[in-house]
Structure 1
Amino acid sequence: MDFKAIIFDMDGLVLDSETGYFAAWQQAASQMGFSLNDQFCDSLSGAPGTLIRQRLIAHFGVDFDIRRFYALSNQAWQQQVQQYGIPVKTGFFLLMQRICDLKLPFCLATNSRRQDVEQCLNYAGLTGVFSCIITRDDVETPKPAPDVFLKAADELGFASKDCLVLEDSPVGVAAAVAANCPCIFVPSCLPADEHAARQANRVLVNLIQVADFISVEFEHSL
């Protein structure tokens, strides 16, 4: 697998943030007299905000008070991250060390809004780690459209085919394929989505494996 730069997804790949989002959604739903199971939450992994909103309304019904739901879930999430922060995924710091040792350019490309990205990175202690960040605010269409990855490749100064995407969700893998980027799928929800696994160039368990893979592949390409 040939590549000259790395593009990271954020939620579920760099940050173990989706667990917190899902817990906040479930708490908000419970406060409103509803319930959300883990399977439904997992199905929204990597989805853009507009799709999440549509799916929630379809799930609960057209009379569901989505504004109250978001207010309650945001309150629950803020309380959670202010107390505990946001965990960084296992192997991230090792992977970053390998990438820096190899002098590979890298970028963060996410469906989240820039304000939310900056807040999450701050709660995770990663402010300043990514000098190149592409968000939902920077493109016309979110993942699974290829826009964020094409924009990231352009910012990095490489063709998309030379940018290795690291993704944890089927939505993100589909976007990488649409952008003609090679992709490693590190599923955050198990069992791994079979279609995404077939689409990706490689499926790995965690970022430790990604670090080892990148070291070997990059050195072989020299």
Structure 2
Amino acid sequence: MNKWNTIIFDMDGTLFDTEQISLNAWYDVKEHFNLPITRDFCIQLIGRTRQSAQPIFKKYMPENWNEQEVYAYRKEKMNEFKLKNGPLPKTDLHQLFNNIRLKGYRIALCSSSHRDAIDFNLKYEHLENSFDVIVDGSMTNHGKPAPDIYLKTAELLNIDPSQCLVIEDSKNGILSAHRAGMDVMMVIDLVQPDEEVKSIAYKIYNHLDDILKDI
């Protein structure tokens, strides 16, 4: 029998195809503001809060770029897409969560996104009551890959981190969960796992539903 009693899901790129939406929005930013945005820049931001992304901005962006204006424009483009098309769930999430509940697990959500983005996605897909705990990027001082956000989730669940299994798509998220003392499964989204990820991930899957094989 597995030692876990709670499954913690990342949101963007794990439950929803929102990392691709974000990538497209960053390309809109590139064209609108004439900024040196590359795919590598976007990939390094995956899983990070805006605060924890500052070293990436310093590396890629010109000194005089207007971060606030850029983020407002990016958010506008993402919202335009999601209002028209929804957040693009990776699978039938209602069925997935039902299957996990039937196995006796609690379910939590741990995302670097702002709470309004989380609430939009969950409300759009009628998943508002699917989680025992929801932790967003504003609830800790240090974002992924620091362990804080996952430790906060365990604290709110009132369980030891070792009792949690995390489902993530990004290296930053996988490192965060691992550093928090949690087992973590990777479901591949935009980026293939590197050797470091392969060495710490409990399992690596191509499809979200595949996690049911090992829980």
Q: Give the TM-score of the pair, scaled to structure 1.
A: 0.87
User: 1: CA distance between counterparts of 2:194 and 2:123?
Assistant: 30
2:117 matched residue in structure 1: 116
Larger displacement relative to structure 2 (199-208 or 88-97): 88-97
Residue identity opposite 2:196 in structure 1: H
CA separation of 1:33/1:136 partners in 2, compared to 1, >3 Å: closer, same or farther? closer
TM superposition shift of 1:53? 4.5
The number of equivalent residue pairs is 214
Larger displacement relative to structure 2 (37-46 or 158-167): 37-46
Structure 2 counterparts to residues 1-222 of structure 1, below 5 A: 2-90=3-91, 92-214=93-215
CA separation of 1:11/1:155 partners in 2, compared to 1, >3 Å: closer, same or farther? same
- For structure 1, the residue ranges without an aligned partner over 5 or more in a row are 215-222
Larger displacement relative to structure 2 (169-178 or 39-48): 39-48
User: 2: CA distance between counterparts of 1:34 and 1:138?
Assistant: 30
User: 1: CA distance between counterparts of 2:147 and 2:154?
Assistant: 11
TM superposition shift of 1:150? 1.7
Contact preservation (8 Å) 2:107, 2:130: no
User: 2: CA distance between counterparts of 1:102 and 1:205?
Assistant: 22
TM superposition shift of 1:141? 2.1
The SS at the match of 1:97 is helix
TM superposition shift of 1:57? 4.6
CA separation of 1:57/1:125 partners in 2, compared to 1, >3 Å: closer, same or farther? farther
CA separation of 1:196/1:83 partners in 2, compared to 1, >3 Å: closer, same or farther? same
Residue identity opposite 1:179 in structure 2: A
CA RMSD across the alignment = 1.9
Contact preservation (8 Å) 1:90, 1:207: yes
